Amino acid sequence: MSLFGKPRYTMVKVARKREIPSGLWTKCEECGEIIYNKALEENLKVCPKCQYHFSLSAPERIQQLLDPGTFKELDADLRSVDPLGFKGPKTYKEKLRLDQAATGLSEAAVTGEGRINGARLVFGVTDSRFIMGSMGSVVGEKIARAVERALRAKLPLVIVSGSGGGARMYEGMFSLMQMSKTSAALAQFHEHRLPFISVLTDPTMAGVMASYASLGDLVVAEPRALIGFTGPRVIEQTIRQRLPAGFQRSEFLLDHGMIDLILHRKQLKSTLAELLEYLTP
């Protein structure tokens, strides 16, 4: 065809890009691997490539660790109040209301009774989605009551901590008092030689780590969990020194004697059952 006989415009058919429904894939925060959500859930929310342990909600922890249908929640009716009338970009009451709606939880801690491989125990877990799992009056009260219930019933105690917020600033001194309250309850519990296993997950920090989370007869942690009081960035800025590689991660703490054991999530339930069988009178 001659040059002047060609059509003025050339029509090119472009295949429509196939749309991928949202919510089907998750990107690993550690290695960047794109993981199909169903495969991630089947793998207990552990990256199949690098073994990064994604955060779990309190209901997910209960589902993974306790025997199906055995968990009976305690003190579900406890609710936080606003003793200081805290005001900021959001008031404390607004923050509570928003996190309750987002998580479906009434507070950052869930406690109750259940069974692991048939063994009865008192179980508690904190959820980092709710004001970073921080410990206010209700969280401290729930933990203390769980300890006291385990003591009365002569049952072992397991608490899974995922609290990056430490003591809850919205409640001021009332939140700091929970550190001594939970620690005092555990001191009485230890006098009766009943086992308490503390499970630390990413992150377990500040007032929670400085109180009940560090007081287990056995302290176990998931791999690469951030564990400490103040975060490494704040420490570096304060002391103006570079911190060692892996500082405040589970592996570093195990090497320095602060925790007793690191357990992959797939091993956690079976190992807890074995430890409880060994430790329970």
Which domains does the chain possess? 23-54 (no CATH), 55-279 (3.90.226.10)
What pLDDT score does 16 carry?
A: 59
Axis-axis angle for helices 58-65, 265-279 (nearest 10): 60
In angstroms, rounded to a whole number, what is the distance separating the alpha carbons of residues 197 and 217? 6
pLDDT of 33 strictly over 90: no
Average pLDDT over residues 156-183: 90
pLDDT tens-digit map of 181-193: 999 999 999 999 9
| Average predicted confidence (pLDDT) for the chain | 89
**Token output for 163:** 């609290």
What percentage of the chain carries pLDDT values higher than 90? 64
**Token output for 253:** 């703490």
Cα torsion through 213, 207, 113, 275, rounded to 10: 0
What percentage of the chain carries pLDDT values higher than 70? 92
Average pLDDT over residues 201-218: 90
What pLDDT score does 23 carry?
A: 76
Q: Residue 173: name the closest of 84, 252, 239 by CA.
A: 84
Beta bridge partners of 74: 111
Helix (H) or strand (E) run with residue 140 in it:
helix 137-153
Q: Which residue has the higher pLDDT, 23 or 64?
A: 64
The pLDDT confidence band at residue 211, using thresholds 50, 70 and 90, is very high
pLDDT tens-digit map of 130-146: 998 899 999 999 999 99
Place of tokens 């073994």: 51
pLDDT tens-digit map of 51-66: 999 899 999 999 999 9
Question: Are residues 150 and 157 in contact, defined by beta-carbon separation less than 8 angstroms?
Answer: yes
What pLDDT score does 245 carry?
A: 78
pLDDT tens-digit map of 83-132: 898 888 889 999 999 999 999 999 999 999 999 999 999 999 999 999 98
In DSSP notation, 208-227 reads HHTTGGG--SEEEE-TT-BB
Per DSSP bridges, beta strands 119-126 and 34-36 are unpaired
Average pLDDT over residues 161-178: 88
